[in-house]
Amino acid sequence: MAENKEVQLLDSNILIYAYDSTEKEKHVIAKNLLAECWKRNKIYALSVQNISEFFVVTTKKISNPIKPDEMKANIQDIITFSNFNILNINKNSVLSAIEISSNNNLSYWDALIASVMKENGISTIVTENDKDFNKITGLKVINPFTKGK
């Protein structure tokens, strides 16, 4: 049974590290985060943008790319699993992202993630990219790779 805690969004980099073992320490940390979800101890949100970035990077940009069919199966498992809340992008998400990007000197793509989070009442993101997401007022950023450092 999932704990009654706030749902957090997992950024693309967490998903990528969980499936790419190049950086061993980050791989273990990211895999453990996902394992908590797979064990139904935690519910995480993912935007369709995160899932898309995850597919592209793991099949094309990592040192040992994963076959597209294998990643499609992995993504199918993720999007159909009840403890992953999949958040969609809509026309309002785009307009809000443009505003967030302009107001915070932030990339449009990061602003789009923040926009979708705000639309869905999610205020915490788990990401390696704390430098950029910390620019957004009202957003709590957790970088699992710097804990205790």
Q: Domain holding 105: CATH number?
A: 3.40.50.1010
Indicate the pTM of the whole model. Answer: 0.94
State which residues form the domain around 16.
8-142
Q: Model confidence over 52-78: pLDDT tens digits?
A: 999 999 999 999 999 999 999 999 999
In a domain, 12, yes or no: yes
Q: Which residues pair with residue 35 across a beta bridge?
A: none
Total number of domains constituting the chain = 1
User: Does residue 147 sit within a domain?
Assistant: no
Tens of pLDDT, residue by residue over 19-41, are: 999 999 999 999 999 999 999 99
pLDDT in tens, 88-130: 999 999 999 999 999 999 999 999 999 999 999 999 999 999 9
Q: Is residue 78 part of a domain?
A: yes
